[in-house]
Chain A
Amino acid sequence: MLENMHMPLRAFVTWSAGINAAFRPVQAAVGLALGLAIFAASALAQGCHFDPNNPVCIPDDTPGLAGRPQPVHWAAIAIVGSSLSVGASHGRNSEAEA
């Protein structure tokens, strides 16, 4: 055991990989799971989201299904000063429409 502590890295990897060839599929599966977990964690950390059927993590400041901004509505009021007739609009999609 003490000798192992001084074992060069290459020799250690060779030694550990050679323990039992039957464990190699298990090692591969564990490695894959770890990799996916690290990828998901980094995606969360950098602030991105996944759209349906799109494997790419889209930064949250990029418009997408999850990051779509709320619609903006406009209102306006107007009056005829001489008759006090009032005109107004609401729920319009643009400033010009209002």
Chain B
Amino acid sequence: MVLNWGSDICFGLAVSRLDSTYAQAPAESRAKAPLAGCRAEKGKACIIQTTRCANDNVNWSSPLPLPMPPATPAAKIDPGVVGTWEYPINPGRWIWQIAANSTYEFHSEAADNAPSHSGVFSADGGRWSMTSTSGFQDVDGGQYNFPSSNAMVSTWKLGTGKWSRVSR
């Protein structure tokens, strides 16, 4: 069932699988996702499933907005990990945005069909962890270190990789 369509606009879709509830909303920006609409429909476990903007690059998955910070943020987040990082995928890259309020957003700008997700994040003392709350459901974590000021080497479930800083 087609819920909505349009040009030069964004759409957000929130679902609550626990009680088969969902809500969609058009918006001018990705940030205005319809979580409130899902909860208004009595959804008890609403998550943002996808946010699509008409002018997103057709070649890869749309990103998700950074989620609302958790009610109880991680006790510590290493300021060195905060920022936007890229990991080379030939051809293309993965983008990992880590916020100081213990949230993150991951999306791929490569033709690898890696799904977007966002959620809560923590990093301290060389160990990091994340749990997605929107998009692809994922839990991951590992170790990290900084070989230089604009590089971060992290281990995760599937291996080890060197991330390059895009911005702080």
- Interface residues, chain A, with chain B CB atoms under 8 Å away: 72-82, 84, 86, 88-92, 95, 98
Contact = CB atoms under 8 A, between A and B. Distances in A.
14 contacts: A74-B7, A76-B6, A77-B13, A78-B3, A79-B13, A79-B15, A80-B1, A86-B49, A88-B50, A90-B52, A90-B53, A90-B62, A92-B54, A95-B7
A77 B55 CA distance: 14
B7 A89 contact: no
A78 B52 contact: no
Query: Which of B2, B7, B10 gathers most chain A CB within 10 Å?
Result: B7
B56 interface: yes
Interface of B: 1-11, 13, 15, 17, 20, 22, 24, 49-50, 52-59, 62
A73 B7 contact: yes
A91 B55 contact: yes
Given A75-B53, A84-B20, 17 more contacts: A72-B7, A73-B55, A74-B5, A75-B6, A75-B11, A77-B11, A77-B13, A78-B1, A81-B22, A82-B20, A86-B13, A86-B50, A90-B58, A91-B54, A91-B57, A92-B58, A95-B7
